[in-house]
A = this chain, B = another copy of it.
């Protein structure tokens, strides 16, 4: 998935995949912002491909829940409220706990100890270590969650968790400015402690405790993000009341006013 001058360089039959990845990255990195209207033609020109694979990629993204598809009216990057994030996190909590309980006793002790050591090394933050600190903290976070999902013995569950992680990350990055998020290392240090509690329970082979530690961890995260979240977000997206459309939930949404999409 490398873009080369005008055309997206990829094998025949992988173009849609490459476009999905490219758009996801742009959403994650904030180049595409919440409420933004995505015009197929523009994207096609920008990526040096025709509209067909762009449209198909957008359908996929709508399926994931990254964008809203408004029939006959195009696609907008989803705008989310604090409630949306909480709702997603609640689902994530239920599934992460389930996965944690399942994974208990199925992970190599050596690997758990390794992660525990890495976590302990994150307890102290110095200003000098900050740049690498953030990177390291995120890496360990990913490693632990992925390990648990992969070790749950349930590939379907692992995939659902992966999807939720992606959604959560997208919305988090859409909603907050990156700098603000990245610099909050206090939360990262807290997370290290929460993670360690999970790992220790896993090492002890106590599935119940591990599940509870995971629940605590996610609840703490929700609390943090909710606090940081702006109270309300006005709708740049105002669907026509007559048009059928799909929100993040796939359910129909009735618009309040007849207003056009922001271009």
Binding site for B on A (CB under 8 A): 12-14, 16-17, 52, 55-56, 59-60, 63-64, 71-72, 84, 87-88, 90-91, 94-95, 97-98, 102, 154-160, 162-163, 244, 247-251
Contacts and interface: CB of A to CB of B under 8 A. Distances in A.
B90 A154 contact: yes
Q: Chain B CB within 10 Å — which of A12, A63, A156, A163 has the most?
A: A156
A235 to B, nearest CB: 15
Contacts of A249: 155-156, 158-159
A159 B90 contact: no
Nearest to A99: B94
A76 B14 CA distance: 18
Given A56-B55, A60-B63, A94-B95, A12 B72 contact: yes
Contacts of A95: 91, 94-95
Contacts of A52: 52
A244 B21 CA distance: 15
A90 B154 CA distance: 9
B91 A248 contact: no
A13 B73 CA distance: 9
A91 B157 contact: yes
A94 B152 CA distance: 14
Nearest to A64: B63
A41 to B, nearest CB: 16
A96 B98 CA distance: 12
A252 B15 CA distance: 17
Contact of A94 (B88, B94, B251): B94
Contacts of A159: 248-251
A183 B170 CA distance: 46
Contacts of A244: 14, 17
Contacts of A56: 55-56, 59
A244 B16 CA distance: 13
Contacts of A158: 249, 251
7 contacts: A13-B72, A17-B71, A84-B156, A87-B157, A90-B154, A91-B156, A94-B97
